[in-house]
Amino acid sequence: MKKSLALLLCLVMVLAASLSLAEVKATLTTKIATRSGPGTQYTDLGTYFSRGKQVNAVSKFYDSRNRVWWIQVEFQYRNSYRRAYTGHKRLTVALGQLPEEKSLGKGTLSERVIPAYGPGELYASYTRALPAAMEVEVCNHENGWIQIEYKNDGRHLKRAWVPESAVEFTETVEGSVLVGD
């Protein structure tokens, strides 16, 4: 009986984890204007596609400054994948289907690294490398990659993905857990 209960509990946990990482299809209601992070204080990545195109919705983040939900979306553009953020009003997607992003802590880059638009080598890379010892916020963890946030210039923040081996945690948020760990 105890083995059956333990097995059932494990299956429920695996199912819950897989649902949180499941792809949620979203349809664009207009052209998709994107930012590197969830808010207008992040760098503008450009405008893509037309109304009616489907993208994958990955997660949500509430921007209390502008009182709007931002959705992290994934799409293919010019033979590579990208992740970016767009305002909820640009998509048809139920917010309840998406996991909410929470900060995981702070860290520093342990090496010079070229960041990517998403968690893996299938994603496009940025052109400019980030220096070792740069201080970053740690936002997400997926597939052996960590999404970081850093000051891009004097005016904007930027989010990008780097291999987890390139980040040394200096502080973690109480109760935060790295997905897949």
Per-residue pLDDT reduced to its tens digit, 18-66? 334 568 999 999 999 999 999 999 999 999 988 889 999 999 999 998 8
What percent of the chain clears pLDDT 90, i.e. is strictly above it? 72
Return the structure tokens found at 108.
């520093």
Mean pLDDT, to the nearest integer, of 105-134?
96
Residue ranges of the domains in the chain?
A: 2-97, 105-170
Instruction: Assign domain 105-170 to its CATH superfamily.
Output: SH3 Domains (2.30.30.40)
Pick the CATH number of 2-97 from 3.40.1390.20, 3.30.43.10, 2.30.30.40, 1.10.10.10: 2.30.30.40
- The per-residue pLDDT for 56 is 96
- The per-residue pLDDT for 179 is 45
- What is the SS3 string spanning 73-136? EEEEECCEEEEEEEEHHHEECCHHHCCECCCCEEEEECCCECCECCCCCCECECCCCECCCCEE
2-97 and 105-170 share one fold = yes
- The per-residue pLDDT for 151 is 92
In angstroms, the CA 122 to CA 25 distance is 19
- The per-residue pLDDT for 22 is 60
Per-residue pLDDT reduced to its tens digit, 121-177? 999 999 999 999 999 999 999 999 999 999 987 778 999 999 999 999 998 886 555
Sole residue written with tokens 């090496």? 111
The whole model's pTM is what? 0.82
